[in-house]
Amino acid sequence: MEIKKYAICYNKEISHSTDVKNDLLEILQKRGLNADVLDIDNLKTGYEFVFVIGGDGTILKAARFYAKSQTPVFGINLGRLGFLSQSSKENIEKSVDKILKKEFYTEDRIMLESGSYIALNDIVIKGALAGRTSAFSLKINDKPLCDYLADGIIIATPTGSTAYGLSAGGPVVSPHLNAFVIVPICPHTLTARPLVIPDSEKITICGTDPKSKYLFSADGQEFSEFKTEIEIKKSKYSAKLALLNDSEFYSILKNKLHWGISPACIENCSSTK
């Protein structure tokens, strides 16, 4: 299907994003295409393809918004890691030409849902008092499974398994698996380990101290508070990421996270750039 309505979404708070936005707009115009320019804090629907300029946080926000209209988003990285992005600012023109030649595909990524909140990466639960561990109880499909004394709990999608969950000791999960990862943050027991479950399961996190308040965040960008329990399940929406044909999850894992590469090699590679 020919793409007719493009949008460029950018984060003006990120250095050079305005310059990159202008460059992308000029590249599209030279190819006879028009695109609406949107600020990340003022997104609109009605497009068939959206370029997103910024870091992973910007892409997450755009992906959540456009999941409801099933609009593909294509990330151009201006951040540090850029695990969700497909192009650097130096390769924008090549990427645009590949997209126009239909040398890309779209991939649906499962998302989490809790009430009105959705998350592409993860939902994180912590106690309201910073610097203190909290007591949590975990239920799967309303059946009690275990109790945690920990700094918090991460519920991650396969997409989010390479983010906070990985830093907390969780596994990397292929985005092609229909699963969720439950990772306790700094648990005060050696028997608390990350858990991988089917995405059809309902997860309930209970705060076991009735006097305490608990916080949860969706993708580290939307926050709320609860006192007793919170239910998390697979969202009815899925994020639609536009990926170039030469993209492959394991190559991204190796190149961006330096998977399986010794520290000496990483240092040598960095020094030659």
Catalytic residue among 19, 56, 151, 199: 56
SS (H, E, C) the chain: CCCCCEEEEECCCCCCHHHHHHHHHHHHHHCCCCEEEEECCCCCCCCCEEEEEECHHHHHHHHHHHHCCCCCEEEEECCCCCCCCCEEHHHHHHHHHHHHCCCEEEEEEEEEEECCEEECCEEEEEECCCCCCEEEEEEECCEEEEEEEECEEEEECCHHHHCHHHHCCCCCCCCCCCEEEEEEECCCCCCCCCEEEECCCCEEEEECCCCCCEEEEECCCEEEEECCEEEEEEEEEEEEEEEECCCCHHHHHHHHHCCCCCHHHHHHHHHCC
Catalytic: 56?
A: yes
Structure tokens at 72: 């593909």
Please give the positions annotated as active site. 56
